[in-house]
Chain A
Amino acid sequence: MFPDQFLFAVEVMLNGLMAGVLYALVALGFVLIFKASGIFNYAQGVMALFGALTLVGIMDGQVPFAHLINAIFGTNVHHFGWHVPAFLSILLVMVVMVGLAWCVQHFIFRHLVGQEPIILFMATIGLAYFMEGFGDLMWNSEIKKLDIGIPQGGSMWIEEATAFLGGSNFYGFFIDKLEIVASVVAIILVIMLVAFAQYTKQGRAMRAVADDHQAALSVGISLSFIWVLVWSVAGFVALVAGIMWGAKSGVQFSLSLIALKALPVLMLGGFTSIPGAIVGGLIVGVGEKLFEFLIGAPFLGGATENWFAYMLALLFLVFRPQGLFGEKIIERV
């Protein structure tokens, strides 16, 4: 028997861990692109939104650009009237994400090779704006439900199994099934990514590019191919994150704001480290939920989740500028 307050804190922490997994999922995409090309991709969140929007659009058989077509030609098209099964649609969306990766590489970053990192960063902000408008134009901006058969709602089993821990006011830990699924998916995804990077030819080439562009070029690795590959993989990660967040809270504009949540995660974990992204995500998820529960809601008027992660990351950076797992930054004149 534990005191109720303690058990509630544990419950908050568990939920924080689950949220942290989702943050880590977005942060992973950032790390992949940053390692391979030195681009800090602000558009990662919008890519998640775009992936989720496209998935819903294909599944429901929406006509792309229906809004624009109707405005120009005075027609009234909106749906093809078919429903595509979830698995097939996910495959189709992956094709779209690869196409997107190619376009991004071909039309934007190929022309910006050798620019300062901060210019590349601002270009990705432009890209984020473009894709936000483009996604809305293509699939309209209504809030959509994404249902690909992931179980939802609290897990009764965990609740009943843990109810004995507390007194009569405690009914067991409430944990959303969706978040459990998301955690499992995230773990599988990370294992897949690591296996891809370690054991396949393309994965090795990817790591070589991340280590040293020129050395990789000199042994015959095609940089532009690797960059398209990396953007595709990041697009795939974004799609997974988009599906999870979309299933949780609907596919809508606010989905793109998870990118803003992933930034402090990256600062904590270090921009170049995959384990860092995961640990950082968990720290931020647990930290912000616990802070809100223990200090934010009772003393500060609530809604501290908006800034807590940033403040944590900011304080952290002052003491360790490269993040938890980041490589030491060495500067030369």
Chain B
Amino acid sequence: MFYRESGDFSETYPADSQTFPIKFDRYRYYAVLVVAFLIIPFIINDYWANAILVPFLIYAIAAIGLNILVGYCGQVSLGTGGFMAVGAYACYKLMTSFPDVSIIFHILISGGITAAVVALFGLPSLRIKGFYLAVATLAAQFFLVWLFNRVAWFYNYSASGQINAPDRTVFGHLVTGPNTDAWAKYMICLVFLTFAGIVARNLTRGSLGRKWSAIRDMDIAAEIIGVNPLSAKLSAFAISGFFIGISGALFFSVYLGAVEVGEAFGIQKSFLVLFMIIIGGLGSIFGSFAGAAFMVLLPVLLKNVLVGGLGWDTALAAHLEFIIVGALIIVFLIAEPHGLAQLWRVAKEKLRLWPFPH
């Protein structure tokens, strides 16, 4: 009824292999972009930006990064928090060392630095697999957090051990620091997310993405058909690290402004991002968005209902949140291992046939 491809003919190969081959899908995608870029910035306020939209955008970038590694290449990583910290501290050092360079470049370079660090920690993946590797990435998590805590050079010898984002502007508008407008925070994160989404989508459906999937499905078989495991695995680690680094840099400079490493980038963060991609859908870019939205919205919703609505105290709501998140993870793994993205796919298939399902 609403959603069908009849009358929608593709006449060239590029037209047939584009991301949204169905016209309705394509227009929906443009509509989302228009709303996100042209409408939300004008109606956004501080609460919506800080509680929901900015964290969602930043976590979505991290989730895309982790999804490339876990969902596409099959290398489970529990070091996301530590890797985000690398992005954040790289960004801080760059911002304070080169104050004249635009923050856009700082964030991109932080992504590059994180990519190098993650690739380094990805080296053992050539020897060890499965949860041996997952545990090995925990080494990165603990080591990096310790490093940023103990080595004073990273936080410029500040007395509190915290890092604080100085004021920086893009096109004359403040984007970091405490006096930033809500829309400016939102816009810079949105631009990076759009960039990350488009790059990730095109990488994962190209030859590199196919190599990753081959490694994920069975690495020995992939090696036999000519995929080089060294380059495939390390490129997945590096590219995943690039996105995670960008999200860490944004998380620190735009969202929080001041960071204490153990608190902001502890192991809980690693699990949070992992949960996002499990719930959202492993091996799906849309799933990264859906999972990030879900995990950002769930605590806000619970807090509003339980604390605001029923008047329970916050500790109780926090316990319930743990229970619900844990139960949801299990339910999703049992009932729908491909997460929200798969539910969305099923819904689309149903809509295509509706109202004549046979």
| Contact indicator B224/A122 (Cβ below 8 Å) | no
| Contact indicator A263/B135 (Cβ below 8 Å) | yes
| Contact indicator A333/B220 (Cβ below 8 Å) | yes
Is the C-beta of B327 less than 8 angstroms from some C-beta in chain A?
yes
Cα separation A302 to B134 with both chains bound (whole Å): 26
Chain A residues, Cβ within 8 Å of B324: 133
Is the C-beta of B354 less than 8 angstroms from some C-beta in chain A?
no
Chain B residues, Cβ within 8 Å of A313: 135-136, 139
| Contact indicator A125/B323 (Cβ below 8 Å) | no
Is the C-beta of B230 less than 8 angstroms from some C-beta in chain A?
no
A-B contact pairs, 18 of them (CB 8 A): A68-B316, A112-B333, A112-B334, A119-B337, A123-B329, A126-B328, A129-B329, A131-B326, A132-B326, A133-B319, A133-B324, A136-B319, A137-B320, A303-B146, A304-B146, A310-B142, A310-B143, A333-B221
Chain B residues, Cβ within 8 Å of A131: 326
Is the C-beta of A219 less than 8 angstroms from some C-beta in chain B?
no
| Residue of B with least CB distance to A323 | B132
Chain B residues, Cβ within 8 Å of A321: 127-129, 132
Cα separation A266 to B134 with both chains bound (whole Å): 13
Known A-B contacts A71-B313, A318-B124, A321-B127; the reply to A130 vs B132 at CB < 8 A is no
Question: Nearest-CB distance from A63 to chain B (Å)?
Answer: 15
Chain A residues, Cβ within 8 Å of B142: 306-307, 310
Q: Which of A40, A136, A317 contacts B127 (CB 8 A)?
A: A317
Is the C-beta of B130 less than 8 angstroms from some C-beta in chain A?
yes
| Contact indicator A130/B323 (Cβ below 8 Å) | yes
| Contact indicator A129/B143 (Cβ below 8 Å) | no
Interface of B is mostly: helix
Is the C-beta of A264 less than 8 angstroms from some C-beta in chain B?
yes
Cα separation A263 to B132 with both chains bound (whole Å): 9
| Contact indicator A137/B319 (Cβ below 8 Å) | yes
What is the interface of chain B, defined by CB distance below 8 A to chain A?
74, 76, 124, 127-132, 134-136, 138-139, 142-143, 145-146, 149-151, 218, 220-221, 224, 267, 271, 274, 278, 310, 312-313, 315-316, 319-330, 333-334, 337
- Beyond known contacts A122-B76, A128-B326, A303-B150: 17 more, CB 8 A cutoff: A67-B315, A117-B130, A119-B337, A121-B131, A123-B330, A126-B326, A130-B327, A131-B326, A133-B324, A137-B323, A141-B315, A301-B150, A307-B139, A310-B135, A310-B139, A313-B135, A318-B128
Is the C-beta of A127 less than 8 angstroms from some C-beta in chain B?
yes
Chain B residues, Cβ within 8 Å of A264: 135, 139
What is the interface of chain A, defined by CB distance below 8 A to chain B?
40, 67-68, 71, 108, 111-112, 115, 117-119, 121-123, 125-134, 136-137, 140-141, 260, 263-264, 266-267, 300-304, 306-307, 310-311, 313-314, 317-318, 321, 331-333
Q: Which of A117, A132, A263, A307 contacts B143 (CB 8 A)?
A: A307
Question: Nearest-CB distance from A142 to chain B (Å)?
Answer: 10
Cα separation A301 to B325 with both chains bound (whole Å): 37
Chain A residues, Cβ within 8 Å of B220: 331-333
Question: Nearest-CB distance from B193 to chain A (Å)?
Answer: 25
| Residue of A with least CB distance to B144 | A307
User: Which of A122, A128, A310 is the most central at the interface, judged by chain B CB atoms within 10 Å of its CB?
Assistant: A122
Cα separation A260 to B134 with both chains bound (whole Å): 12
Cα separation A188 to B221 with both chains bound (whole Å): 46
Q: Which of B124, B138, B333 contacts A263 (CB 8 A)?
A: B138
Question: Nearest-CB distance from A329 to chain B (Å)?
Answer: 8
Chain B residues, Cβ within 8 Å of A108: 330, 334
Cα separation A113 to B243 with both chains bound (whole Å): 34
Known A-B contacts A108-B330, A317-B127, A333-B218; the reply to A133 vs B146 at CB < 8 A is no
| Residue of A with least CB distance to B218 | A333
Chain B residues, Cβ within 8 Å of A318: 124, 127-128
Cα separation A264 to B267 with both chains bound (whole Å): 16
Top 10 A-B residue pairs of the complex, sorted by shortest distance between their CB atoms = A133-B322, A130-B326, A126-B329, A129-B326, A310-B139, A133-B323, A307-B142, A301-B150, A307-B143, A137-B319
Cα separation A254 to B316 with both chains bound (whole Å): 19
User: Which of B224, B274, B319 is the most central at the interface, judged by chain A CB atoms within 10 Å of its CB?
Assistant: B319
Cα separation A108 to B131 with both chains bound (whole Å): 20
User: Which of B130, B322, B325 is the most central at the interface, judged by chain A CB atoms within 10 Å of its CB?
Assistant: B322
Cα separation A302 to B149 with both chains bound (whole Å): 11
Cα separation A302 to B147 with both chains bound (whole Å): 11
Known A-B contacts A68-B316, A300-B150; the reply to A314 vs B326 at CB < 8 A is no
Cα separation A253 to B165 with both chains bound (whole Å): 32
| Contact indicator A125/B274 (Cβ below 8 Å) | yes
Chain A residues, Cβ within 8 Å of B224: 333
User: Which of B142, B278, B315, B325 is the most central at the interface, judged by chain A CB atoms within 10 Å of its CB?
Assistant: B142
Cα separation A328 to B267 with both chains bound (whole Å): 31
| Contact indicator B337/A311 (Cβ below 8 Å) | no
| Contact indicator B333/A123 (Cβ below 8 Å) | yes
| Residue of A with least CB distance to B142 | A307
Q: Which of B136, B151, B312, B333 contacts A317 (CB 8 A)?
A: B136
Question: Nearest-CB distance from A104 to chain B (Å)?
Answer: 10
Cα separation A106 to B324 with both chains bound (whole Å): 19
Known A-B contacts A108-B334, A307-B146; the reply to A133 vs B321 at CB < 8 A is yes
Chain A residues, Cβ within 8 Å of B337: 115, 119
Chain A residues, Cβ within 8 Å of B129: 321
Q: Which of A133, A140, A266, A333 contacts B326 (CB 8 A)?
A: A133
Known A-B contacts A119-B337, A321-B128; the reply to A134 vs B323 at CB < 8 A is yes
Cα separation A132 to B325 with both chains bound (whole Å): 11
| Contact indicator B316/A130 (Cβ below 8 Å) | no
| Contact indicator A125/B131 (Cβ below 8 Å) | no
Chain A residues, Cβ within 8 Å of B136: 267, 310, 313-314, 317
Cα separation A115 to B334 with both chains bound (whole Å): 9
| Contact indicator B316/A121 (Cβ below 8 Å) | no
Cα separation A321 to B127 with both chains bound (whole Å): 7
Known A-B contacts A304-B146, A310-B143; the reply to A129 vs B127 at CB < 8 A is no
Question: Nearest-CB distance from B315 to chain A (Å)?
Answer: 7
Question: Nearest-CB distance from A333 to chain B (Å)?
Answer: 5
